Structure 1
Amino acid sequence: MRAIEFTGQSIRMIDQSLLPHREEWIELRNAGEIIDAIKRMKVRGAPAIGVAAAYALALSENPGKDAECLKSARPTAVELSHAVDFMLGACRNGMALPQAAAKWEGMNSKRCRLVSEHGSSLVGKGQRILTHCNTGFLAANEHGTALGAIKMAHGQGKGVSVYVDETRPRLQGALTSWELLKHGVPHQVVCDSAAGYLMKKNEIDLVMVGADRIAANGDAANKIGTYTLSVLARENSIPFYVLAPLPSFDADIKAGDEIEVEERSQKEVLEIRGKRVYPQGSSAENPAFDITPAENIAGFVCENGIFRSIDELWESTRDPDSASGELLKSCLR
Structure 2
Amino acid sequence: MKPNLEAIKYKNNKLEILNQLLLPDSFVYEDCISVEQGWQSIHQMKVRGAPAIAITAALSLACELYHLEDKYSVTGLKKYIFDKLDYLCTSRPTAVNLFKMSDQMKSLIENVVNKDKEIDPKKLKQIFIENAENLLEKDISDNKAIGQFGSECFPLNKKIKILTHCNTGSLATSGYGTALGIIRSLHSNNKLEHAYATETRPYNQGARLTAFELVYENIPSTLITDSMVSFLMKEKGIDGVVVGADRVVANGDTANKIGTYQLAIAAAYHNVPFYVAAPITSIDCTKNNGSEIHIEERPKHELTHINGIQIAAKGIDVWNPSFDITPAKLITGIVTELGVIPKNLDGEFNIKEFLLKKQK
TM-score band w.r.t. shorter chain: over 0.9
Match of 1:331 in 2: none
Match of 1:316 in 2: 354
Decide whether the 8 Å contact of 2:251 with 2:350 is kept in 1.
no
> Which secondary structure does the structure 1 equivalent of 2:256 belong to?
strand
Q: Which moved more, 1:33-42 or 1:9-18?
A: 9-18
Match of 1:136 in 2: 169
Please say if 1:20 is aligned against 2:11: no
CA–CA distance in structure 1, aligned partners of residues 328 and 216 of structure 2:
33
Please say if 1:109 is aligned against 2:140: yes
Q: Which moved more, 1:225-234 or 1:3-12?
A: 3-12
Please say if 1:291 is aligned against 2:309: no
**TM-superposed deviation, 1:313:** 3.8
Please say if 1:46 is aligned against 2:64: no
The code of the aligned residue for 2:354 comes to: S
Decide whether the 8 Å contact of 2:250 with 2:351 is kept in 1.
no
CA–CA distance in structure 1, aligned partners of residues 327 and 106 of structure 2:
32
> Which secondary structure does the structure 1 equivalent of 2:90 belong to?
helix
**TM-superposed deviation, 1:91:** 2.3
Q: Pairwise CA RMSD of aligned residues?
A: 1.5
1:211-226 correspondence to structure 2 within 5 Å = 211-226=245-260
> Which secondary structure does the structure 2 equivalent of 1:5 belong to?
strand
1:119-156 CA distance string (max 9 Å, x none): 11123432111100000011111121010010111011
> Which secondary structure does the structure 2 equivalent of 1:208 belong to?
strand
The code of the aligned residue for 1:72 comes to: T
Match of 1:328 in 2: none
Decide whether the 8 Å contact of 1:245 with 1:303 is kept in 2.
yes
> Which secondary structure does the structure 2 equivalent of 1:139 belong to?
coil
1:37-85 CA distance string (max 9 Å, x none): 0001110000111111111221345322221122121111000111112
**TM-superposed deviation, 1:116:** 1.2
Please say if 1:72 is aligned against 2:90: yes
Aligned residues: 322
**TM-superposed deviation, 1:312:** 4.4
1:143-292 correspondence to structure 2 within 5 Å = 143-173=176-206, 174-292=208-326
The code of the aligned residue for 1:193 comes to: S
Decide whether the 8 Å contact of 1:112 with 1:245 is kept in 2.
yes
Q: Which moved more, 1:260-269 or 1:157-166?
A: 157-166
The code of the aligned residue for 2:128 comes to: L
CA–CA distance in structure 1, aligned partners of residues 7 and 13 of structure 2:
17
Decide whether the 8 Å contact of 1:30 with 1:60 is kept in 2.
yes
What TM-score do the two structures reach when normalised by structure 2?
0.86
**TM-superposed deviation, 1:7:** 3.0
Decide whether the 8 Å contact of 1:164 with 1:188 is kept in 2.
yes
CA–CA distance in structure 2, aligned partners of residues 107 and 314 of structure 1:
22
Q: 2:103 aligns with which of 45, 65, 85?
A: 85
Q: Which moved more, 1:22-31 or 1:89-98?
A: 89-98
> Which secondary structure does the structure 2 equivalent of 1:140 belong to?
coil
Match of 1:120 in 2: 151
CA–CA distance in structure 1, aligned partners of residues 217 and 53 of structure 2:
23
CA–CA distance in structure 2, aligned partners of residues 93 and 103 of structure 1:
18
Unaligned runs of 5+ in 1: 326-333
CA–CA distance in structure 1, aligned partners of residues 213 and 222 of structure 2:
13
Match of 1:37 in 2: 41
Match of 1:99 in 2: 130
**TM-superposed deviation, 1:202:** 4.3
Decide whether the 8 Å contact of 2:250 with 2:350 is kept in 1.
no
The code of the aligned residue for 2:227 comes to: S
CA–CA distance in structure 1, aligned partners of residues 275 and 269 of structure 2:
15
The code of the aligned residue for 2:204 comes to: L
CA–CA distance in structure 1, aligned partners of residues 92 and 154 of structure 2:
31
CA–CA distance in structure 2, aligned partners of residues 115 and 312 of structure 1:
19
**TM-superposed deviation, 1:19:** 0.8
1:81-133 CA distance string (max 9 Å, x none): 11112222222344521101012222222222211110111234321111000
> Which secondary structure does the structure 2 equivalent of 1:138 belong to?
coil
**TM-superposed deviation, 1:207:** 0.4
Q: 2:62 aligns with which of 58, 63, 69?
A: 58
Give the % identical residues: 38
> Which secondary structure does the structure 1 equivalent of 2:252 belong to?
coil
Decide whether the 8 Å contact of 1:90 with 1:100 is kept in 2.
no
What TM-score do the two structures reach when normalised by structure 1?
0.93
CA–CA distance in structure 2, aligned partners of residues 311 and 163 of structure 1:
28
Q: Which portions of structure 1, spanning 4 or more consecutive aligned residues, are displaced by more than 4 angstroms?
A: none
